[in-house]
Amino acid sequence: MSERTVARAFRGIKTMDGAGVRLTRIFGFGDTAALDPFLLLDNFGSDVADEYLAGFPWHPHRGIDTVTYMLEGRVRHGDSIGNSGSIEAGDLQWMTAGSGIIHEEMPQLSPRGVHGFQLWVNLSKAEKMREPAYRGIGASEVKRLPVDGGEAIVLAGELGGTRGPVSGVSRDPAYFDLRLGPGGKIEIPAPDGDTAFAYVYLGSLVCPCEPLVYAGHMKSSTDAAAPEPRPKTQSGTCLLFGPGDRVLFEAGSTGASFIFARGRPLHEPIAWGGPIVMNTRAELELAFREYQEGSFIKKS
Q: What is the pLDDT of residues 109-141, one digit of tens each?
A: 999 999 999 999 999 999 999 999 999 999 999
**Of 179 and 221, more confident:** 179
Average confidence score pLDDT of the chain: 90
249 φ/ψ angles, rounded to the nearest 5 degrees: -120, 145
Sorting pLDDT into bands at 50, 70 and 90, what band is 256?
very high
**Of 123 and 31, more confident:** 123
Listed in sequence order, the residues at least 6 apart from 167 whose beta carbon sits closer than 8 Å to its beta carbon are none
Domains of the chain: 6-293 (2.60.120.10)
Three-state DSSP at 33 gives helix
**Of 286 and 227, more confident:** 286
**Of 208 and 39, more confident:** 39
pLDDT over 60 (residue 107)? yes
Per DSSP, 167 falls in state -
DSSP-assigned states of every residue in 184-247 = -EEEEE--TTSEEEEEEEEEEEE-SS-----SSS--BTT-TT--PPPSSEETTEEEEE-SSSEE
For residue 133, give Cα distances in angstroms to 24, 67, 97, 168.
Answer: 27, 12, 7, 10
pTM, rounded to two decimals: 0.91
52-63 tens-digit pLDDT: 999 999 999 999
The pLDDT of 243-264, averaged and rounded, is 95
pLDDT over 90 (residue 70)? yes
DSSP-assigned states of every residue in 244-285 = SSEEEEEEEEEEEEEEEEEE-------EEETTEEESSHHHHH
State the Cα–Cα distance between residues 256 and 183, nearest whole angstrom: 9
